[in-house]
Amino acid sequence: MADTETSTQTLPPAQPDWPGWAIATAICLRFWSRLPVPPLPGESQSHAAPDFRMVPRALPFAALVIALPAALVMLAAGLAGVSGLVGAALALTALALTTGAFHEDGLADTADGLFGGHTVERRLEIMKDSRVGSYGALALGLSLLLRASLLAMILDRSGAWAAAAAVLAVAPWSRAEALHLLATQAPARSSGAAAAVGQPTPATARIALGLSLALALGLAFAAQLPLAGLLIGLALAHGAALGLAGLARRLIGGQTGDILGAAQQLAEIAIYLGIALALGLAGR
């Protein structure tokens, strides 16, 4: 009997069932956005905590839906002749409303925690504090300024359709970068959002990155965005995410939900930067 109990206790956790692409996308939309998503046929417990081991394979498709309102605002502003900076600001406002400033909050908490504390415990304590400090405010301001300025440059140089496509192309990859950190980095604490949802399998992270790449390239080709600039931006985004992961390991011992939000923000800025640099070098 003892041998049976021992062998049962050492069995690996059961492989989760794949719910299908539609249900997985709906689960991702509920987790990553404020969009109302009704239960789909065949879906049980639509408001239960998601199991992230396999479901985030559909994150790239959910990211497109999340970014669609902002892309439409960007397109409408560009076609209406609104200045690039105003159009970009309106698009970022729409995106923040759609996501509930989910990633911006993580960026602010990450900046406050990593740079405002002097011990691991104090840094993690600061990151759990809902108040925004000087480092967090500065990080938020710079993120908004950089994203709005780069998007405005894309709009002014390539037109409304290209700017809208850039908003859509950036959304899957930037979130897949954060997912990759969740799959490959140990959690800094045993509780919290990042630890509660479970660790995606490496295959899940690879599938999400592969789908994100395919979607980004397709959108860039359709809207005539510079492919070289997009690829440079994707490489910069991956480097920024890995750099943040290394910093988080050194300062707090791993990743948290806030670190993942900050990774998404850095990746978004990096991709816009790559596209804008290519447009600038091409003289467009």
- Residue-wise pLDDT for 233-278, tens only, equals 999 999 999 999 999 999 999 999 999 999 999 999 999 999 999 9
Residue 71 lies in a domain: yes
Residue 145 lies in a domain: yes
pTM (two decimals): 0.90
Does position 54 have pLDDT exceeding 70, yes or no?
yes
- Residue-wise pLDDT for 134-177, tens only, equals 999 999 999 999 999 999 999 999 999 999 999 999 999 999 99
pLDDT band at 194 (very low <50, low <70, confident <90, very high): low
DSSP string spanning 157-218? HH-HHHHHHHHHHHHHHHHHHHHHHHHHS-BSSSSSHHHHT-PPPHHHHHHHHHHHHHHHHH
DSSP category for residue 253: S
Residue 22 lies in a domain: no
The answer to whether the beta carbons of residues 147 and 273 sit under 8 Å apart is no
Average pLDDT on 17-45 reads 88
Mean pLDDT score of the chain: 90
From 228, 263, 255, select the one nearest 103 (Cα to Cα).
263
Q: How distant, in Å, are the alpha carbons of 12, 101, 263 from that of 28? A: 25, 16, 18
Contact residues for 122 (Cβ-Cβ < 8 A; gap 6+): none
pLDDT of residue 274: 97
Residue 217 lies in a domain: yes
Cα separation of 154 and 75, whole Å?
Answer: 12
Cα separation of 112 and 130, whole Å?
Answer: 11
* Range from 95-104, 176-185, 275-284 carrying the lowest mean pLDDT: 275-284
Does position 9 have pLDDT exceeding 60, yes or no?
no
First and final CA of the chain: distance in angstroms? Answer: 75
Question: What are φ and ψ of residue 183, in 5° steps?
Answer: -80, -25
Cα separation of 276 and 143, whole Å?
Answer: 16
Residue 128 lies in a domain: yes
Burial 30-53 (b: 16+ CB within 10 A, else e): bbbbebebeeeeeeeeeeeebebb
Residue 7 lies in a domain: no
Cα separation of 66 and 28, whole Å?
Answer: 10
The count of structural domains within the chain is 1
Does position 220 have pLDDT exceeding 50, yes or no?
yes
Residue spans of alpha helices (H) in the chain: 2-9, 21-32, 59-79, 84-99, 102-116, 120-128, 134-158, 160-184, 193-196, 202-223, 227-252, 257-282
From 17, 68, 15, select the one nearest 44 (Cα to Cα).
17
Does position 12 have pLDDT exceeding 50, yes or no?
no
Residue 122 lies in a domain: yes
pLDDT of residue 197: 67
Share above pLDDT 90 across residues of the chain, in percent, rounded to a whole number: 79
Average pLDDT on 190-214 reads 83
The answer to whether the beta carbons of residues 127 and 91 sit under 8 Å apart is no
pLDDT of residue 189: 79
Residue 37 lies in a domain: no
Cα separation of 6 and 55, whole Å?
Answer: 31
- Structural domain boundaries enclosing 97: 58-282
